[in-house]
Chains A and B, each alone.
Chain A
């Protein structure tokens, strides 16, 4: 039998057992849709992080006091659990002087950070306040401005705030040139960042006043911008070496941490991709259940069509003709289910994050958007078709092997 005719008969099989075919197709649709949507959301998130990674600046390094095990560059983790960090481990002007002596470093931004009480139009709250070196911050920050201007060298009682603090945090929007009370002092908003944070940025000298527990010239972190990002690893080594010398520590009792934004981003991206893989694996189970559904439908179909198989064989159908018809039947169910599943998955991946909305991780998903890659579409379509055909193979083979006499006698 010619393939086109076998295809016609396979389609005829699908069309004449509508309910059962559609129920089977739904099984495949659910599987494919969940795989596609999860892969798309994951890809979107990864792309978001990658673009952030580019935005974060690969030429930035942050030095913090104490040894953070999570992001140390050193392979030699201290075995004593970082007891060297206890007590007065701080970053201060000495360290800044050391950094200034490294020629590869372009800019140095010293920052302090703390929680501050804010008050605006009758509403109170507690937000994170960051004091930055306003002389260099403008050149070193990766934040984008949405409105107003960034902190300048001459600024004193002015602040730049995060987007969410401006829009939703208080009962009324906190706009440019509005005054807000922070720990009892008034500050004027000069700029709003294009992000979803509630952070406040102000000149570091002012921050020392506002945050009582901070000691002058002691920093919570130092961010440096290097001249040539290709030399990142070399600069890290140099800083590490020099700081260790001036701070009189060795590898074993190192009391500071150097981290690069690139490294952070890579870690995040890795996390997302393993999460996506995990979720995709779960979705794949749904697809597998769909495949079992196809096999089940095919077995039933073969049973139901036994007599017709007998008739066809009597009329000269060879085993391979019967095999082709039933394999194509399974192929069609997989194909139709796959196509509908991809469309549904595409819709889901664009609607779902928005629907679930809100803050936190899901909110991030919403803002990240989804990316339906050709790869994921082709992959899930071929998996659907492949699994469909494969799970139809055994029933189809069984059908083809029916003895004509027995099949004809079947009622």
Chain B
């Protein structure tokens, strides 16, 4: 088996939310493996538990039960500060809402993850400029996010997600707020990152267009994995 190549592994992961007396299981014993360099899509309708799954994969939340291993390290019992460290070093986020900081310039937004890693300012700056060049926004570095189109903002977000050279790029509905043409461009771009740079990319979405790019599709429904298709 390719055990050594496993980057992320979910073992019987449960996530239970308590709302007063009522308990609601968003994830019911999920098992999943994601290998290094894989391009994976997690597909499911809203309310299926895919957002919960993405929060767990992104170390934004802790499972109620079960084990999550990132690089063979159990991260399901870590404290928030340690999780923040892992997020900062190993995970690059791309959100549906782009989630850029509106009061910072494009350049400062891309530099932000590096600042949390206490990278030297000049180094961070060079890196951010290089990444913005990569996403084709070299001439927009001093603009504010509000001066950019949706597609441009998402490219800034992609540049930001790449800033710390993460192990996984985690995209939550990256095309959800974009028209189909721009959405296709973004997916092409992610695909390019995967094929050219060998990045591990996990896309959580309900957009079926993704299927033709990825190597593995995880269908999720009612908190359980319905099926896993390798394409």
Contact = CB atoms under 8 A, between A and B. Distances in A.
Contact of A315 (B55, B112, B118): B112
Report, as a range, how many residues of chain A touch the other chain: 20 to 34
A316 B55 contact: no
Interface in A369-411: 403-405, 408
A315 B85 contact: no
Interface in A302-334: 307-308, 311-321
Contacts, number: 72
Interface in B91-115: 93, 95, 99-101, 103-104, 112-113, 115
A397 to B, nearest CB: 14
A92 to B, nearest CB: 87
A313 B118 CA distance: 15
Interface string B138-161: 000000000000000000000010
A313 B84 contact: yes
B61 interface: yes
A408 B113 CA distance: 16
Given A404-B60, A405-B55, A405-B60, A317 B88 contact: yes
A2 interface: yes
A1 interface: yes
Interface of A is mostly: helix
Contacts of B215: none
A286 to B, nearest CB: 31
B116 A408 contact: no
A315 B104 contact: no
A316 B99 contact: no
A16 interface: yes
B88 A316 contact: yes
B84 A319 contact: yes
Given A1-B116, A405-B60, A316 B85 contact: yes
Contacts of B104: 12
B87 interface: yes
Contacts of A100: none
A93 interface: no
A396 to B, nearest CB: 16
A236 to B, nearest CB: 72
Nearest to A17: B103
Given A312-B112, A312-B116, A408 B99 contact: yes
B220 interface: no
B141 to A, nearest CB: 17
A12 B103 contact: yes
A315 B89 CA distance: 9
Given A316-B84, A317-B84, A404-B60, A1 B115 contact: yes
B58 interface: yes
A311 B61 contact: no
A306 B221 CA distance: 30
B56 to A, nearest CB: 10
B126 to A, nearest CB: 16
A316 B88 CA distance: 4
A5 interface: yes
Given A1-B118, A16-B103, A405-B55, A315 B60 contact: no
Nearest to B92: A315
Contact of A317 (B61, B116, B160): B116
B87 A316 contact: yes
A5 B122 CA distance: 12
B118 A319 contact: no
Contacts of A311: 99-101
A12 to B, nearest CB: 6
A5 B81 CA distance: 19
A311 B157 CA distance: 11
A318 B81 contact: yes
A278 B88 CA distance: 54
7 contacts: A1-B118, A2-B118, A12-B103, A307-B99, A315-B113, A316-B117, A319-B84
